[in-house]
Amino acid sequence: MRYRIRILLVACLILAAWVIGQRVTDKPVQTIGYKLPKFEEVTFISVERTGQPRTELFRKDGTWTVNGSEAPIDPHALKKIAEAMANSVKMDMEIGRPPSLSEYGLSEHAITLSFQGASRQRIRIGKVVNDRTTFIRDEESGLVYRAQTNLRGAFDRPAQSWRKRQVFDVRFEEVRSLQSERMDQVIWQVSRADHTSPWRFEIPRGMAAGQKEIGAVANTLVTASAQEFSEAKNLAVERVRLSFTTAKQRFGLALGKRTPNGGVQAQALQWSGSKLLPTGPVFVLPRHQAIFLEPSASDLRNRRLFRFSSDQVEGVRVLQPHPLELRRKGVQWTLMSGSETKSLRRELGDLYTERLSTLRAVSVPSKIPKDAFKTPFGTATIKLEDGRLVRARIGNGFGSGRYVQIDDDPTRVMIVSKSGIGVLLPTLSDFKQGPQPPAGQK
């Protein structure tokens, strides 16, 4: 107990000594008169950096634009400037005129800013300290200061990234319909009641819609972001026109020539009166977006072979070329081939039915040969827990895959890969790692 009291006394003495020392040694900090304007007082900013074109930002009627055009500034860039200069930027240190500007990141290659508004100032911005303060040089006086904000975080960006790049201000959840046209002819059209409802085809009517495939197109449209801008006012050639609607508006995107790196020239379209008209500049969309924007109706078709889940499967019977049957009773799977009957570990049976139920085609043929199923290669019949039977008929080869038809439905003919055919028509050897003789048999 006495030991603890001694420790507390020592701690109190040390704290008291520190407080007294602070009172004695602390001196009033000299106020530095130099400061930068707050953002709301600024109407013009220029950004200059070695090796890049000068960027000029203008404010008119509360709206900021880039390089004297009507092109809006990137909202994220604007937010960073507004946050960094929310108030008049004060200085916490005056360095003077140091012999080496490079020490502070203020060489002739440093970013140079010019502000106009209530006053005019021109500065260089240098190194950032602790992500909170920035060394700057006033170009008129040549004096170096430390500003109490991170100016580099606000202004250090490539010249081409100042301009707003996102094409549409729409969220994925808001999209209600999509349409693709070529030469004023509608190629496909899909719609949904709301963001919780599935997509369905309007054109071609009744085609099974691939939810992920259509979702990828919708998501690409609402997140479309220009890679670069062109000086052209309109596309030289318009190949494809995509449009989409929300509950309140209609938007469009015209696609032009492909670029050598796989991108595509594009231009936004604005609904005016009774049609979509070009608006804004021509720009280039990068390859990773362009590849999703020109699908055919077939590309958006549901390529999933079956409409059941794995836990609904009670049995699978394969005829030709290697007869085999798989049955489930409760959680136990049994595998039969000819006179051979074996128990199958539950995880292997479940894994197989999961692969079967999620099997997808590699493509959907636009035309089906009359003899595609004249000589059947094999048939798989799946029994579901509600007693329904689903049949997959495998026909002639197509490339490395084969034609597959579900339930004799002419609208459900697809091309399935070689590995997919192996799932539809498994052999006993495909289960050789797992099957064991049923209990009581050897």
What distance in Å separates the CA atoms of residue 408 and residue 395, rounded to the nearest whole number?
12
> In the block, which residue shows the tokens 């929300």?
246
The residue among 2 and 185 whose pLDDT is bigger is 185
Tens digits of per-residue pLDDT, 106-129? Answer: 999 999 999 999 889 999 999 999
Same domain membership, residue 265 and residue 183: yes
What distance in Å separates the CA atoms of residue 437 and residue 343, rounded to the nearest whole number?
5
Mean pLDDT along residues 159-166: 89
**3-state DSSP assignment of residue 273:** coil
pLDDT of 442 > 80? The answer is no
- If you average pLDDT over every residue of the chain, what do you get? 88
Same domain membership, residue 294 and residue 206: yes
Q: What string of DSSP letters covers 376-418?
A: --EEEEEEETTS-EEEEEEEEEETTEEEEEETT-TT-EEEE-H
Residue 25 domain-assigned? no
pLDDT of 89 > 50? The answer is yes
Same domain membership, residue 150 and residue 41: yes
pLDDT at residue number 20: 41
pLDDT of 436 > 50? The answer is no
**Three-class DSSP labels, 163-206:** ECCECCCCCHHHCCEEEEEECCEEEEEEECCCCCCCCEEEECCC
pLDDT of 29 > 50? The answer is no
Residue 17 domain-assigned? no
Same domain membership, residue 245 and residue 317: no
pLDDT of 142 > 90? The answer is yes
The domain boundary, picked from 129, 161, 193, lies at: 161
**3-state DSSP assignment of residue 227:** coil
- CA torsion 355-358-363-365 (nearest 10°) is 110
Residue 426 domain-assigned? yes
Per the structure, how many domains does the chain have? 3
Residue 372 domain-assigned? yes
The residue among 365 and 10 whose pLDDT is bigger is 365
Same domain membership, residue 183 and residue 149: no
Same domain membership, residue 196 and residue 143: no
Same domain membership, residue 345 and residue 416: yes
Tens digits of per-residue pLDDT, 195-209? Answer: 999 999 999 998 889
∠ CA 319-325-327, nearest 5°, is 145
pLDDT category, 159, cuts 50, 70, 90? confident
**3-state DSSP assignment of residue 87:** coil
∠ CA 163-165-171, nearest 5°, is 135
Residue 7 domain-assigned? no
The domain boundary, picked from 300, 323, 343, lies at: 300
Whole-angstrom CA distances from 161 to 96, 169, 261, 263, 284 are 34, 18, 20, 18, 14
Closest alpha carbon to 423 in 343, 304, 339: 304
Same domain membership, residue 398 and residue 325: yes
pLDDT of 28 > 80? The answer is no
Mean pLDDT along residues 156-171: 91
pLDDT at residue number 67: 87
**Three-class DSSP labels, 95-162:** EECCCCCHHHCCCCCCEEEEEEECCEEEEEEEEEECCCEEEEEECCCCCEEEECCCHHHHHCCCHHHC
Contacts of 32 (CB under 8 A, 6+ apart): 90, 91, 92, 93, 94, 145
Highest-confidence range of 71-75, 174-178, 303-307, by mean pLDDT?
Answer: 174-178
pLDDT of 101 > 70? The answer is yes
pTM for this entry: 0.67
| Cβ atoms 326, 333 nearer than 8 A | yes
Mean pLDDT along residues 226-242: 91
Residue 6 domain-assigned? no
DSSP-derived pairing of the beta strands 413-416 and 340-344: unpaired
pLDDT category, 30, cuts 50, 70, 90? low
Residue 97 domain-assigned? yes
DSSP-derived pairing of the beta strands 378-384 and 389-398: antiparallel
List the CATH number of the domain containing 123. Answer: 2.60.40
Domain that holds residue 145: 35-161
**3-state DSSP assignment of residue 255:** strand
pLDDT of 228 > 60? The answer is yes
Mean pLDDT along residues 262-287: 92
Q: How many CB atoms lie within 10 A of CB 16?
A: 10
Same domain membership, residue 210 and residue 266: yes
- Maximum C-alpha span of the chain: 102
* Joined tokens for residue 430: 């495909």
The domain boundary, picked from 126, 161, 196, lies at: 161
List the CATH number of the domain containing 216. Answer: 3.30.1490
Report the percent of the chain where pLDDT is more than 70.
91
User: What residues are paired with 228 via a beta bridge?
Assistant: 284
Same domain membership, residue 423 and residue 322: yes
pLDDT at residue number 320: 77
